[in-house]
Structure 1
Amino acid sequence: MTPLSGTGVTPLAGVGTVQWYDPQVELSGVDASESIDPETELATFEQARDTARDELETERERTADRIGDAEAEVFEAHLGFLDDPQITEGVEETVEAGSTAQEAVAETFGSHIEQFESMEGRFAERAADLRDLRDRLLRILTDSDRVDLSELPDGTVLLAKDLAPSDTARLDPDAVAGIATVGGGRTSHSAIFARSLAIPAVVDVGEELSDIEDGTEVLVDGDAGTVVVDPESTPATEAATVEIRTEQVTTADGRAIEVAANVGTTDELAPAVERGADGVGLFRTEFLFLDRETPPTETEQYETYRAALDAFPTGRVVVRTLDAGGDKPIPYLDLPDEENPFLGARGIRLSLDENADLFETQLRALLRAGADGAGDLAVMFPMVATVAELDQVLTRVESVSDDLTSENIAHTVPELGVMIETPSAVFCAREFAERVQFLSIGTNDLTQYVMAASRGSEAVTDLHDPLHPAVLRAIDRTVREGHQGGAWVGVCGEMAGEPELTPLLVGLGVDELSMSAVTIPAVKAAVTAADSDATLIESVLASETREAVRDRLHLG
């Protein structure tokens, strides 16, 4: 059988025996002669909600312990939907109209799922969360057995139409040899969980995956993005065979490149150290603000930032200030319900306006943390689009520093930087660089805004690719203008964690790459083999299509 192609999620490979997983539940039939008592059905629904709530809270705690607090946040969304008046009232109205609790759940959730599937961005992603919660409630209501994914036999390759986050979070990475799904995407919750658990995974394989039967031996190659039936051998993937290097690496022509880790919580620091990260290139502080009813205190934040610095006493830790809005709603903040939140109030726009007090508290904690103990702190600001915004930020930092001085509190103003995520930031890169010490290119958002292609829309998946010439030219301009302005330039989007793209980024002159910890060894190896091939870069930047870029980079 010809290898099936999909999207590789984890740069690992595994061989095992197929077990199909289908979480869908068949509804119990109701005899036409039977009368339906709405009061009984509503009581049944309420009991199912209570059971589901208990399960979700248990899974949230287990996920936080095994994978991390940031990943466990998905269960907060499920708990929120469980108590959403639109859903509960919809079920109640459907029951009172003569349906069973099972039918009412299926119908009510179905209409909301269709509504969210027609939207984009974080709204489209909610459809998967609703589907997961619906299936959970139906399983409880029908008293159906749940496949215990935490007890799969050793050497299992799990195949499914798609996997919900709650499914992936229950997998035992020591038993599961691989995962492959018909649908899904590289940035879905399940894909992120698979990477965190270091399980070989390929998603979006297509309906051909359904032809593989239970009990078949298959290879899941998350590096190549393929599924192979009856493989003759297991490829030695880069992530499995590359030596872990704890020292900073240099290119073949002698240029030092910092290879750092993206983290969201302190739980992710130890794995980053173990994989050889030089430091932290992106600490997503928004996860400090989630799963709680009030913002974190200055002391809480200070202790978190100090933990990151202590984990890398000789390295640099780049902390991004609160990046709320867009696809990162914060429950207790009064964020506007915008038609297109990615083009609205998010990132630094909120920090300089509605949430100025939160911003000041965060800056106080950061300036204090940078003055105590080891480690080299750097702070960067998200979604800065204009020079005026950056000037306001710098004024605010100076003001906080003055306040701490007047209070006789030890502190230091760290390296400051700006995220380059929008076309306007690209065009202002020189002015930004003249005011701060570094620029960090967020290739996920930069691609989204340059190509006008939502990260969450399957309809424009082909456009959301950083190898489009327009995106590469934006990166090139940012690096050149940043260096000319006196700043170093890093990349912290998904692109930085792709070893096959390392020669391209090195050739473009990038100084730092930051990524998920699992890909660090492979990227460090790619750095040592790369050099600043000016001819290659010139030909890539002159390309007119994504396909031409891929050809010049010898990518399949």
Structure 2
Amino acid sequence: MSERTLSGVGATPLSGVGTVVWYRPGEALELDDPPEPDAVDPATERERFEAARDAARDELEAERERARERVGDEEAAIFDAHLQFLDDPQIGDAVGNELDGGLPAEHAVREGFAGPIEQFEGMEGRMAERADDLRDIRDRLLRLLVGGERTDLSALPEGSVVFAERLTPSDTAQLDPEVVSGFVTATGGRTSHAAIFARSLALPAVVGVGDDLFAVEEGTEVVVDGDTGDVVLDPSEETRAAAADTDRAEVRREPVATTDGKSVEVAANVGQPAELEGAVEQGADGIGLYRTEFLFLERESSPDEEEQYEAYVEALDAFPDGRVVVRTLDVGGDKPIPYLELPEEENPFLGERGIRRSLGVDADLFETQLRALLRAAADGAGDLAVMVPMVATVEEFEQARERLDSVAADLESEGIDGETPEFGLMIETPSAAFMADEFAARADFLSIGTNDLTQYVMAASRGNERVSELHDPQHPPVLRAIARTVEGAEGTDAWVGMCGEMAGDPDLTELLVGLGLDELSMSAVTIPEVKANVAETDRESAGELAARTLRASTKRDVERLLDDETAD
């Protein structure tokens, strides 16, 4: 049989060869019509429901720990939201009413979840995404109630390539990169949870293939090219050999520069201490985004100053000759921490999150974190930079710097000599991009978070599959916001970096260098290839490419320009 190719979105610069294993978790959950109410004992069915809920809770907690160990605390936090939905009293009451009406537990779950799912589907943004979270919990309960067998994705045969309509975070976190050759999904984009997990796991993956995927039969031999986004069915021996023998870019321990001598720092995004070693092994120059949320998750109270200090020193010691950019606590939006009692908001992505909480209800936590950071700056081997998230106004940044200066003065009065780190902000909001010149005049650096910046510029939630086409940083408005940020820093001492997923896309390295970025930070797995691309980039040619893309009117125009450049 001749080989055929399906196209999707490449999630990692890796290729894999293997055999299709279909993952269809919903197939065993279809229910027959319920018996007559008189034939059902509500008390017994309530006991069955509670037992299933307890079992689901145990599963979620175990999967949260697995995700935390494999891909980091920030991604594992999604399981906290699932646990909250599992115990939501309104949903519990809805199921209880169906049980009292004489339905068996599995039918009561189906009916009890129907209303909340429909309600969330009618909303927008992050709230609409919660419909999928509810489906995940509903299907988990149904499987436990009907005794359906769950495919153990952590125990697949070696060489498996998982095919699925979609993979949830709990699904993806089970995959063992030592055994699984990759995965392919019908839905999703480069910034979906599945794609981000794939990069954290260094697993070949292609997402967003579409309905053509469903025609592929179990057991088909495939090549998954996570770089090009191609899925080759029934590959020839030549294609298989090419995929298996693909040489990854050589790990470069030293910093790199363009062909005309422009140095570009290539750093790693890190979500927990366990990722430090991988970043060093892949040749990271430093850490461009150190997420501190991991210190605050999976516990009943916030970490004290000493615990934070030790974690920050560990990161600085991992890069004695590099820079470590630590983002202060960024909670709210999709990052719940139960003991902080985050408010229920209609649209949490537009609510109280990031620096808004640090300057308000979390002011004491912010001060403790700044104390730990300043102490670590004095004692750690590397150079510390502190970055505040979700800044929208100049006043917010100035207040944050005042807090830093105040903490430094307090430490000095206590006889603790602290070094003043670089202090900067993330450019995630359109307002920050518009005011980049004002921020650059006050900050040591600006770091563009393209995941959130794209979300806010395009008014498209980053996790909502229904608007995934809009959540792409190659849309001209996003590129122009990036360019405006870089231009705002021209003539100042502030450097400009990027720590969103866009920075780790090797196909975009030349464009980003042409736009004038001084630093790129990404998942460790993509560092070698991005470094190789920087070293092969001529800045004059890159600048011309950037100028052409900034004149483009549509995303398709941008893609054509990038494709033409690659072809040349």
User: What does residue range 383-462 of structure 1 map to in structure 2 within 5 Å?
Assistant: 383-462=390-469
Number of positions where the alignment pairs a residue of Structure 1 with one of Structure 2? 556
Q: Which residue of 2 aligns with 1:22?
A: 24
Q: Which amino acid aligns with 2:31?
A: L
Give the C-alpha shift of residue 29 in structure 1.
5.5
Is this contact kept in 2: 1:420–1:446, CA < 8 A? Answer: yes
Is this contact kept in 2: 1:67–1:193, CA < 8 A? Answer: yes
Is this contact kept in 2: 1:184–1:204, CA < 8 A? Answer: yes
Write the distance in 2 (CA, Å) between the matches of 1:81 and 1:455: 21
Write the distance in 2 (CA, Å) between the matches of 1:181 and 1:368: 46
Q: Which amino acid aligns with 1:484?
A: G
After the TM superposition, which of the residue ranges 430-439 and 36-45 deviates more from structure 2? Answer: 430-439
User: What does residue range 270-309 of structure 1 map to in structure 2 within 5 Å?
Assistant: 270-309=277-316
Write the distance in 2 (CA, Å) between the matches of 1:61 and 1:457: 25
After the TM superposition, which of the residue ranges 334-343 and 277-286 deviates more from structure 2? Answer: 334-343
Write the distance in 2 (CA, Å) between the matches of 1:228 and 1:295: 48
Of 550, 553, 556 in structure 2, the residue corresponding to residue 544 of structure 1 is 553
| Residues 419-463 of structure 1, C-alpha deviations (whole Å, 9 max, x = no match) | 112222123222212222111111122222223333233443333
Q: Which amino acid aligns with 2:60?
A: L
Write the distance in 2 (CA, Å) between the matches of 1:238 and 1:405: 57
Write the distance in 2 (CA, Å) between the matches of 1:121 and 1:11: 29
Q: Which amino acid aligns with 1:52?
A: A
Equivalent position SS for 1:530: coil
Write the distance in 2 (CA, Å) between the matches of 1:239 and 1:385: 44
Is this contact kept in 2: 1:238–1:522, CA < 8 A? Answer: no
Is this contact kept in 2: 1:496–1:514, CA < 8 A? Answer: yes
Equivalent position SS for 1:436: coil
Q: Which residue of 2 aligns with 1:53?
A: 57
Equivalent position SS for 1:295: coil
User: What does residue range 343-354 of structure 1 map to in structure 2 within 5 Å?
Assistant: 343-354=350-361
Write the distance in 2 (CA, Å) between the matches of 1:299 and 1:189: 32
Equivalent position SS for 1:245: coil
Give the C-alpha shift of residue 28 in structure 1.
5.7
Write the distance in 1 (CA, Å) between the matches of 2:192 and 2:379: 38
Is 1:310 aligned to 2:317, yes or no? yes
Equivalent position SS for 1:259: strand
Write the distance in 2 (CA, Å) between the matches of 1:367 and 1:462: 42
**Identical counterparts, % of pairs:** 63
Is this contact kept in 1: 2:288–2:499, CA < 8 A? Answer: yes
Give the C-alpha shift of residue 239 in structure 1.
8.5
Is this contact kept in 2: 1:497–1:516, CA < 8 A? Answer: yes
Is this contact kept in 2: 1:128–1:164, CA < 8 A? Answer: no
Is 1:520 aligned to 2:531, yes or no? no
| Residues 189-219 of structure 1, C-alpha deviations (whole Å, 9 max, x = no match) | 3332222222211122111111111111111
Write the distance in 2 (CA, Å) between the matches of 1:71 and 1:338: 21
Write the distance in 2 (CA, Å) between the matches of 1:355 and 1:428: 26
Q: Which residue of 1 aligns with 2:43?
A: 39
Give the C-alpha shift of residue 23 in structure 1.
1.0
Structure 1: unaligned runs, 5 residues or longer: none
Root-mean-square deviation over aligned CA pairs: 2.1
Q: Which residue of 2 aligns with 1:495?
A: 502
Give the C-alpha shift of residue 153 in structure 1.
1.1
Structure 2: unaligned runs, 5 residues or longer: none
Q: Which residue of 1 aligns with 2:109?
A: 105
Q: Which residue of 2 aligns with 1:356?
A: 363
| Residues 123-155 of structure 1, C-alpha deviations (whole Å, 9 max, x = no match) | 233333322222221111111222222221111
Is this contact kept in 2: 1:11–1:239, CA < 8 A? Answer: no
Q: 1:348 to 1:33 in 2, by over 3 A?
A: closer
User: What does residue range 172-211 of structure 1 map to in structure 2 within 5 Å?
Assistant: 172-211=176-215
Write the distance in 2 (CA, Å) between the matches of 1:313 and 1:237: 36
Write the distance in 1 (CA, Å) between the matches of 2:35 and 2:480: 65
Of 520, 545, 563 in structure 2, the residue corresponding to residue 554 of structure 1 is 563
Write the distance in 2 (CA, Å) between the matches of 1:421 and 1:22: 37
Write the distance in 1 (CA, Å) between the matches of 2:15 and 2:358: 43
Give the C-alpha shift of residue 238 in structure 1.
11
User: What does residue range 300-339 of structure 1 map to in structure 2 within 5 Å?
Assistant: 300-339=307-346
TM-score, length of structure 1 as denominator length: 0.95
Is this contact kept in 2: 1:67–1:197, CA < 8 A? Answer: yes
After the TM superposition, which of the residue ranges 83-92 and 366-375 deviates more from structure 2? Answer: 83-92
Is this contact kept in 1: 2:161–2:181, CA < 8 A? Answer: yes
Is this contact kept in 2: 1:181–1:204, CA < 8 A? Answer: yes
Q: 1:42 to 1:371 in 2, by over 3 A?
A: same
Equivalent position SS for 1:332: helix
Is this contact kept in 1: 2:20–2:217, CA < 8 A? Answer: yes
Give the C-alpha shift of residue 261 in structure 1.
0.6
Give the C-alpha shift of residue 54 in structure 1.
2.2
Of 12, 16, 20 in structure 2, the residue corresponding to residue 10 of structure 1 is 12
Q: Which residue of 2 aligns with 1:130?
A: 134
Give the C-alpha shift of residue 111 in structure 1.
2.7
Q: Which amino acid aligns with 1:106?
A: R
Q: Which amino acid aligns with 2:251?
A: I
Write the distance in 2 (CA, Å) between the matches of 1:238 and 1:546: 33
Is 1:170 aligned to 2:174, yes or no? yes
Write the distance in 2 (CA, Å) between the matches of 1:33 and 1:417: 64
Is this contact kept in 2: 1:11–1:237, CA < 8 A? Answer: no
Is this contact kept in 2: 1:11–1:238, CA < 8 A? Answer: no
Is this contact kept in 2: 1:116–1:124, CA < 8 A? Answer: yes
Write the distance in 2 (CA, Å) between the matches of 1:224 and 1:314: 34
Is 1:67 aligned to 2:76, yes or no? no
Give the C-alpha shift of residue 30 in structure 1.
4.7
Q: Which amino acid aligns with 1:396?
A: R
Q: Which amino acid aligns with 2:206?
A: V
Of 148, 154, 166 in structure 1, the residue corresponding to residue 152 of structure 2 is 148
Give the C-alpha shift of residue 33 in structure 1.
9.0
Give the 4+ runs in structure 1 shifted more than 4 A. Answer: 28-34, 235-240
Give the C-alpha shift of residue 74 in structure 1.
2.7
Is this contact kept in 2: 1:12–1:240, CA < 8 A? Answer: no
Q: Which residue of 2 aligns with 1:79?
A: 83
| Residues 461-492 of structure 1, C-alpha deviations (whole Å, 9 max, x = no match) | 33322222222222122112213122111011
Write the distance in 2 (CA, Å) between the matches of 1:491 and 1:365: 25
Give the C-alpha shift of residue 31 in structure 1.
4.6
| Residues 518-551 of structure 1, C-alpha deviations (whole Å, 9 max, x = no match) | 1111101110111212332322222222222222
Write the distance in 1 (CA, Å) between the matches of 2:244 and 2:504: 15
Is 1:341 aligned to 2:343, yes or no? no
Equivalent position SS for 1:336: coil
